[in-house]
Amino acid sequence: MENLKVGIAGLGRIGKIHLNNLLQMQNVDISAAMDPDEEAQKYAKSKGVKLVFKTYKELLNVHEINALIICTPTDTHADYVELAALAGKHVFCEKPLDLNIKRVIEVLEIIKKTKIKLMIGFNRRFDKEFYRVKKRILNGDIGDPHLVKITSRDPSPPPLSYIKHSGGLFLDMTVHDFDMARFIVEKEVEEVYARGAVLTDKKISEVGDIDTAVIILKYTDSSMAVIDNSRKASYGYDQRLEVFGSKGMLQGNNIFQDNHSFYNEKGVESSLPMNFFLDRYAEAYIFEIKSFIGSLINNSSVSVNGKDGLESLRIGLAAKKSLLENRPIKLNEIET
């Protein structure tokens, strides 16, 4: 069987990760890449990519390409995915597809019509810790899940210039947790109640965002999830979850920089959790892109689809509304 021909758009932090992971795969040729930035173009050439462009249009014109990996800034995703679909190319798109729900719905309609495959980059689904928890839930090991607890704290906030355009904490950061809340117990959310504050850097309030939040989700069967977020954890990247059920409890824990411990008369020391997402989820990014390529080779469903992107955005918008209006928001108050 001929190798899949893949093109990649955007070679910043996440684009480089996907490029390097794809380069390790036997059944994939990276035919072309694009990025308006010269350093990024040089990077692609240094990795052996033969066709390197400045514009997306040029990338789209490479007929042999079967699939595109979109790792460009969020405000380009919807247009780039739409153009790829209309050109008959499958797409892996980094989260989120768009911050505007109407635009997401429009793009998903085009995906439906063109019948291309679209996968959204919710990488945490591919983390081994969380995946093991999910497998045991499906196995019935904890009976009926009643409570989900997700802790997701970043080591430091992104620049204010990024926060201004990111859609805010709920849409750029908690959106991963909203997806995890649905994925881990395979339940849909009915109601969202959010509280938030600015506790780490007052400048964050100047751009209209928060840096600390607690969100309560009620699933359609009345079971619940609690998510807590901070933009700044002094000890690094904190990524844990717990699911409590009728027959037991499961935990997915942080992964540490190393596993040694030091004991003395004062206490015990061990290393910190892995520093940030590029380290903690390094392996998850490999499984994620392999899953996308696998779905193309086997002509099977993608593991994170457009509906997953849409639902996490709806929960994020409900959280924003809840914070603003200081009340629980039914998800059916948000457009479908």
Ligand X SMILES: NC(=O)c1ccc[n+]([C@@H]2O[C@H](COP(=O)([O-])OP(=O)(O)OC[C@H]3O[C@@H](n4cnc5c(N)ncnc54)[C@H](O)[C@@H]3O)[C@@H](O)[C@H]2O)c1
Sites of contact with ligand X (CB under 6 A): 9-15, 35-37, 40, 56, 71-74, 76, 94-95, 121, 123, 277
Q: Which residue is nearest to ligand X (CB)?
A: 12
Query: Based on CB atoms, which residue is closest to ligand X, 29 or 94?
Result: 94
Minimum distance of ligand X from residue 264's CB (angstroms): 38
Query: Based on CB atoms, which residue is closest to ligand X, 54 or 146?
Result: 54
Q: Which residues contact 192 (CB under 8 A, 6 or more apart)?
A: 215, 216, 217, 218, 315, 318, 319, 322, 328, 329, 331
Query: Based on CB atoms, which residue is closest to ligand X, 159 or 267?
Result: 159
Query: Based on CB atoms, which residue is closest to ligand X, 224 or 310?
Result: 310
Helix (H, G, I), strand (E, B) or coil at 324: helix
Query: Based on CB atoms, which residue is closest to ligand X, 81 or 319?
Result: 81
User: In angstroms, rounded to a whole number, what is the distance separating the alpha carbons of residues 112 and 85?
Assistant: 9
Minimum distance of ligand X from residue 20's CB (angstroms): 13
Query: Based on CB atoms, which residue is closest to ligand X, 40 or 81?
Result: 40
Contact present, 116 and 89 (Cβ < 8 Å)? yes
Minimum distance of ligand X from residue 44's CB (angstroms): 10
* Helix, strand, coil percent content, the chain, rounded in steps of 5: 40, 25, 35
Query: Based on CB atoms, which residue is closest to ligand X, 68 or 192?
Result: 68
Minimum distance of ligand X from residue 36's CB (angstroms): 5
User: In angstroms, rounded to a whole number, what is the distance separating the alpha carbons of residues 282 and 294?
Assistant: 19
Minimum distance of ligand X from residue 227's CB (angstroms): 17
SS (H, E, C) 238-287: EEEEEEEECCEEEEECCCECCCCEEEECCEEEECCECCCHHHHCHHHHHH
Contact present, 280 and 246 (Cβ < 8 Å)? no
Question: What is the token pair recorded at 219?
Answer: 């699933």
Minimum distance of ligand X from residue 197's CB (angstroms): 24
User: In angstroms, rounded to a whole number, what is the distance separating the alpha carbons of residues 169 and 181?
Assistant: 16
Minimum distance of ligand X from residue 191's CB (angstroms): 26
Minimum distance of ligand X from residue 133's CB (angstroms): 19
Angle (CA) 270-276-277 rounded to 5° is: 130
Q: Which residues contact 239 (CB under 8 A, 6 or more apart)?
A: 124, 127, 151, 152, 153, 254, 273, 280
Query: Based on CB atoms, which residue is closest to ligand X, 191 or 209?
Result: 209
User: In angstroms, rounded to a whole number, what is the distance separating the alpha carbons of residues 84 and 115?
Assistant: 12
Which amino acid belongs to residue 115? K
